């Protein structure tokens, strides 16, 4: 793992106040650093404080985490500013400053006491409404006494702890075009994120029935921000997805009603209508790079895969830049393009570059090729190749390689002429 500075989080409880004879415990969580070894020092003002730092542990992602806590008497709770200073040997130090309320009573009185209500309803205050009716001297004394008791109760009562839990979120990812074409499989991923997922369970349905196989359950993962995540994958034959079979993922949790997400292939899918391959810039000078542009249009939905081949070998994705398909003007279909950088070849031998396009509604892989050679690249006219999805063959164009054939024939005839003339002259002289 690369070197990384730690993330430092102060741990503060604002729900329960300590009693007069109990200490206040402050904590620092240090996580996500590499390599190991951090030094934790606590300060109140400029004076260091004794603390307890727990042993470091290594997470599954190879980064480290630890924690440190400080106990201080209640009398010193508001006498200064507390700092947790973390020094990492391989990076800069991180500092966290703790600021505490003036007093427990002041914090308690500022928190309204409300009974927990159902979501979407209004909380009702527990404070009794003031009365304006004249109750006499005895009534006034009882009223003041009652108000005093209520005030004392508010000051000593532990306020309701606010909920910091993250609500559950469920996401369903549909099959990637790469899997549909390269593996002939349709892979679905159901992903859930929340604060407490130990009792969460993800289930699948295909056309309303529980699948008998193809399900891969992921492990429960805990993240540095306190959240948890879990996923489940379902793999089906591509033919089921192309046939419009519905796929449903359901999240079951004891504290929530079932949450269902359904994936359904878009019925109005349309395969690409046109594919073209053009030379954007030739290598001038010859040792410079060239650029090829592949364009495809008239398809829906926008999920499409564009790849490049160099002499039937797949080009690394770092060598070309695809674009996210935008909608076509005044149309329900989309278009996409990809630009390939062609480095100058080390030899005059031409290389053939092919743009391969796949779409979930295509019957076959679409492709268009272009042959490039440094010796004639700059003088070759731009001749695109295209294929119509509705036709069975490419549109016929003059081959850019015909120039090389013509030149080769001319040179061969010229050499034969020289040889013939030399032989005739030799015979006559002899």
Which pLDDT tens digit goes with each residue over 285-315? 555 678 888 999 888 888 888 888 888 888 8
Quick one: pLDDT band at residue 163, thresholds 50, 70, 90? very low
Strand blocks (E) in 274-333: 274-281, 290-299, 304-310, 313-314, 320-322
Quick one: pLDDT band at residue 138, thresholds 50, 70, 90? low
Read off the pLDDT of each residue in 361-377 and give the average, rounded to a whole number. Answer: 68
Residue 155 to residues 109, 127, 318, 374, 405, Cα–Cα distance (Å): 6, 13, 64, 86, 97
pLDDT in tens, 209-219: 999 889 999 99
Quick one: pLDDT band at residue 394, thresholds 50, 70, 90? very low
Q: Taking all residues of the chain, what is their mean pLDDT, rounded to a whole number?
A: 72
pLDDT in tens, 28-58: 888 888 888 888 888 887 878 888 888 888 8
Its CATH architecture, for the domain 169-263, is: Sandwich (2.60)
CATH class in words for 7-104: mainly beta
What element of type H or E holds 104? Answer: helix 104-109
Strands 274-281 and 47-49 turn out to be unpaired
Cβ atoms of residues 205 and 190 within 8 Å? no
Quick one: pLDDT band at residue 188, thresholds 50, 70, 90? very high
The DSSP output letter for 95 is: E
How far, in Å, CA of 101 to CA of 18, rounded? Answer: 13
Domains 7-104 and 169-263 belong to one CATH topology? yes
Residue 238 to residues 25, 172, 185, 242, 265, Cα–Cα distance (Å): 58, 17, 5, 6, 11
How far, in Å, CA of 78 to CA of 249, rounded? Answer: 52
Q: Where are the domains of the chain?
A: 7-104, 169-263, 274-395
Full-model pTM = 0.45
Tokens for 317, please give them.
């994705």
Its CATH architecture, for the domain 274-395, is: Sandwich (2.60)
Read off the pLDDT of each residue in 397-426 and give the average, rounded to a whole number. Answer: 54
């Amino acid at each position: 793992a690369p070197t990384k500075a730690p993330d430092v989080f102060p741990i503060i409880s604002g729900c329960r106040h300590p009693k007069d004879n109990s200490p206040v415990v402050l904590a620092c969580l240090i996580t996500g650093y590499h390599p190991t070894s951090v030094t934790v020092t606590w300060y109140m003002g400029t004076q260091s404080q004794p603390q307890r730092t727990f042993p470091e542990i290594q997470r599954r992602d190879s980064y480290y985490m630890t924690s440190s806590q400080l106990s201080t008497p209640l009398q010193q709770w508001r006498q200064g500013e507390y700092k947790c200073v973390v020094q990492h040997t391989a990076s800069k130090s991180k500092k966290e400053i703790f600021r505490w309320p003036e007093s427990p009573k002041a914090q308690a009185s500022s928190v309204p006491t409300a009974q927990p209500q159902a979501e979407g309803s209004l909380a009702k205050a527990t404070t009794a409404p003031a009365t304006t009716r004249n109750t006499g001297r005895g009534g006034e004394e009882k009223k003041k006494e009652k108000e005093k008791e209520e005030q004392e109760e508010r000051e000593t009562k532990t306020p309701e702890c606010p909920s910091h839990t993250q609500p559950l979120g469920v996401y369903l990812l549909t099959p990637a075009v790469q899997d549909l074409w390269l593996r002939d499989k349709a892979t679905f991923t159901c992903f859930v994120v929340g604060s407490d997922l130990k009792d969460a369970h993800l289930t699948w349905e295909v056309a309303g029935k529980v699948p008998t196989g193809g399900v891969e359950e992921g492990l429960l993962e805990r993240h540095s921000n306190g959240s948890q995540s879990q996923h489940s994958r379902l793999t089906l034959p591509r033919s089921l997805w192309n046939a419009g079979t519905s796929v449903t993922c359901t999240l079951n949790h004891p504290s929530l009603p079932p949450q269902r997400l359904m994936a359904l292939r878009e019925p109005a899918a349309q395969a690409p209508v046109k594919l073209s391959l053009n030379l954007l810039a030739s290598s001038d000078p010859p040792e410079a790079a060239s650029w090829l542009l592949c364009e495809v249009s008239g398809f829906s939905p926008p999920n499409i895969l564009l790849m490049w081949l160099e002499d039937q070998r797949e080009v690394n994705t770092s060598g070309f830049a695809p674009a996210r398909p935008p909608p076509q003007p005044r149309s329900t279909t989309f278009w996409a393009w990809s630009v390939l950088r062609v480095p100058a070849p080390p030899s005059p031998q031409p290389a053939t570059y092919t743009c391969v396009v796949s779409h979930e509604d295509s019957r076959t892989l679409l492709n268009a090729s272009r042959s490039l050679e440094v010796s004639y690249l700059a003088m070759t006219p731009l001749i695109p190749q295209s294929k119509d999805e509705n036709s069975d063959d490419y549109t016929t164009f003059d081959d850019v390689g015909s120039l090389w054939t013509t030149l080769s024939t001319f040179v061969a005839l010229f050499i034969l002429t020289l040889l013939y003339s030399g032989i005739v002259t030799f015979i006559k002289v002899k």
